[in-house]
A and B are shown apart, each in its own frame.
Chain A
Amino acid sequence: MSGVRRDNVERRLFGVLRPVIIVLLLVVCLFPFYYMALLSFRPLDAVLQDPGALWPQAGEIDLGTYRDVLTSTANGGQGFLTFIRNSAIVAIGTVVLTLLVAIPGAYAVSRLDFFGRRQISAVFLGVYFFPAILLAIPLFVFFTRIGQRGTLSGLVVVYVAQVAAVSIYMLRNYFDTIPPSLEEAAAIDGCTRLQAMRHISLPLALPAIASNALFVFMIAWNEFLFALLFLVENRSKWTVSLGLSQLAGSIEVPTTVLMAGSVILTVPIIVLFFLSERWLAGGLTAGAEKG
């Protein structure tokens, strides 16, 4: 009898707790981003006078922060347009190069029987567990010595090396689900391996490749440590992340203007995330349900 009562109490308790927890988690997750957008629209003196306002007062909305943050430094702004361009070059460059090396690599690891193919993915992933700061030291020294520190292309090469392994891992999982019999049919029709790969498996893997591209783009766009080490001396080479972090320390730039910068940094990622969320979540946790 007491078991039934306990069951009832618990059911009622969790019935109340569940929505409370969900709302609480949503607020905790989303409020910082709402606050970011809010501050970017409010003038600085209004924020200082009324720091607790949770929505903009009537007639208070001010888009001047965005103008200020995007205008070039020559015209008295913060030059975020240049940062956006740099971030875009780095992120797109990383995506293109990563796919160029990772698609063939993933295909090979998934399909072709060659010596060491099992070990190679383990080695690639093992590398992931080294601290980034450990890699940063020799790369910093190396790129300084060959005079390539401070170039966007140097950064791209470093990023590709960092994401190639996980990219191969995600793509391989997808290639594994494409039945080999499709390619065997093509082989009987006289296709070589590489032709079969190009004409049969690649088109089928396009959704996975697209989600992988978005994933890599997001990593490269968000990256901070290597951008800091490689590009900090030259403002015209700063990425959005680096620019925001460098200007955040200075007193001359109003917080509201930098909030506009944060919104500019965050919005592309949130948009890409919602576009790719379904694929990404699946790709990352593939195999997790097996325990």
Chain B
Amino acid sequence: MRAPEPGRQDHRSRRPGPARSARVREDRRAGYLLISPTAVIVFVMVVLPILWTVSLAFQDVRLLNLRTTGVVGAYSLDNFRAVLTSPGFLDALVTTLVYSVFGTACAIGVGVVAALALRAPFRGRGLVRACMLIPYVAPVVAATFVWTTMLNPQFGVVNHYGTTLLGWNDPIAFLSSAESASPFGIDLHVSTALLTVVLFEGWRSFPFAFLFITARIQAIPESLEEAARVDGATPTQRFRHIVLPQLLPTLAVLTVLRFIWTFNNFDDIYLLTGGGSGTQVVAVRVYDYLINRGDIGAAAAQALVLAAILAVLVTVYLKLFGRSEEVG
């Protein structure tokens, strides 16, 4: 190999020095110019509000005295003390955890099953796949309303067939029963309403998992499985030893994303149960403090606690997962 000649190196950059650095400077200026509208709107409408929530959480702010409080006020830890010791906060936290863990598991589990079932091509597969995504894209208000109607104890179609075909003694108040759910005689120690909202979360979110898992499965090289097939591996063995290891990183990312979004979810539970019958998650509780009690400071403190716990959980998960990745 010859050492590069000085003259050749000059040749490689298309423009002479000063013009090129002018181009770099122009790019930089254009870059700031083009990104600034987004930066401004995200800063003003997202970053500043987050900081302001921190400030509000340490002040005594109520809807009634809202107009007179400023950014600089009397700061104290009273909100946090009141919120953390208030009855129901711990319950709400546990409910949030149960809801997020099982909702996430449900969504990803069904997502995997759906992706595997639709793996081999058949006529109309594209249409079936698109249909599977409908629960995820449909407006949440319409989806919750139709579920509420379907599960209605008086004229809902589920209870109608449950009592006439499945032999239920009484219609089940799926969304307003705080009694412990015991399907098939197994006591789950979770209220019926909470079980219902978990199932709703699974129904609504599995398409998201399905979409990502399908994309990943399609990228698995066919030769891998073909080799296993030749070696006599059965379908479950091929899944266990070939497909699943390839899916694991995707499943890990999906778990984090779904867990975060379920943990923060407000709409679904507010619309299905209003937070009653053992389904009050922290997000719904924050709304209750903000609107019904008009206690902005306490609402902000709870929202911050929610975000902090989420951050801790996700960090722990990433630590654990990152380590197991290195070992495996």
Residue of B at shortest CB range from A194?
B30
Query: A139 in the interface, Cβ–Cβ < 8 Å?
Result: yes
Chain B residues with Cβ below 8 Å from A193 are 26-27, 30
Instruction: Indicate if the CB atoms of B266 and A33 lie closer than 8 Å.
Output: no
Chain B residues with Cβ below 8 Å from A145 are 66-67
Please tell me which stretch of B127-135, B177-185, B189-197 contacts chain A, meaning at least 4 of its Cβ atoms lie within 8 angstroms of it: B127-135
> B230-287: which residues lie under 8 A (CB-CB) from chain A?
232, 234-236, 246, 249-250, 260, 263-264, 266-267, 271, 283, 286-287
Instruction: Indicate if the CB atoms of B131 and A101 lie closer than 8 Å.
Output: no
Instruction: Indicate if the CB atoms of A244 and B303 lie closer than 8 Å.
Output: no
Q: Within the assembled complex, what's the spacing in Å between the Cα atoms of A111 and B143?
A: 41
The residue that B307 contacts in the complex, of A39, A124, A131, A244, with Cβ under 8 A, is: A131
Chain B 285-297 interface 0/1 with A at a Cβ cutoff of 8 Å (1 = within): 0110011000010
The residue that B132 contacts in the complex, of A25, A134, A137, A221, with Cβ under 8 A, is: A25
> A18-34: which residues lie under 8 A (CB-CB) from chain B?
18, 21-22, 25-26, 28-30, 32-33
Assuming A10-B236, A108-B34, is B141 touching A161 (CB within 8 A)?
no
> B36-73: which residues lie under 8 A (CB-CB) from chain A?
37-39, 41-42, 44-50, 52-53, 56, 61, 66-67
Assuming A131-B306, A133-B303, A141-B66, is B31 touching A113 (CB within 8 A)?
yes
The residue that B303 contacts in the complex, of A107, A137, A248, with Cβ under 8 A, is: A137
Instruction: Indicate if the CB atoms of B34 and A107 lie closer than 8 Å.
Output: yes
Chain B residues with Cβ below 8 Å from A133 are 264, 266, 283, 286-287, 303, 306
Chain A residues with Cβ below 8 Å from B283 are 131-133
Assuming A131-B264, A273-B133, is B139 touching A10 (CB within 8 A)?
no
Instruction: Indicate if the CB atoms of B41 and A160 lie closer than 8 Å.
Output: yes
Query: A222 in the interface, Cβ–Cβ < 8 Å?
Result: yes
The residue that A29 contacts in the complex, of B131, B156, B264, with Cβ under 8 A, is: B131
Interface of B is mostly: helix
Interface of A is mostly: helix
Closest 9 CB pairs of A and B: A114-B31, A161-B45, A112-B31, A104-B34, A289-B219, A131-B264, A138-B49, A108-B34, A105-B38
Would you list 20 pairs from A and B whose C-beta atoms are within 8 A, ordered by A residue? A7-B235, A26-B132, A54-B157, A113-B24, A113-B31, A127-B47, A130-B264, A131-B306, A131-B307, A135-B50, A137-B290, A141-B296, A144-B66, A225-B267, A248-B148, A266-B142, A281-B211, A284-B211, A285-B211, A285-B215
**B residues adjacent to A (C-beta < 8 A):** 23-24, 26-28, 30-35, 37-39, 41-42, 44-50, 52-53, 56, 61, 66-67, 110, 113-114, 117-118, 120, 128, 130-135, 137-143, 145-150, 154-157, 160-161, 164, 203, 207, 211-212, 215-216, 218-219, 232, 234-236, 246, 249-250, 260, 263-264, 266-267, 271, 283, 286-287, 290-291, 296, 299-300, 303-304, 306-307, 310, 314
**A residues adjacent to B (C-beta < 8 A):** 3-4, 6-7, 10-11, 14, 18, 21-22, 25-26, 28-30, 32-33, 35-36, 39, 47-48, 51-52, 54, 100-102, 104-105, 107-109, 111-115, 117, 120, 124, 127, 129-142, 144-145, 157-158, 160-162, 164-165, 168, 187, 192-194, 218, 221-222, 224-225, 229, 240-242, 244-245, 248, 255, 258-259, 262, 265-266, 269-270, 273-274, 277, 281, 284-285, 288-291
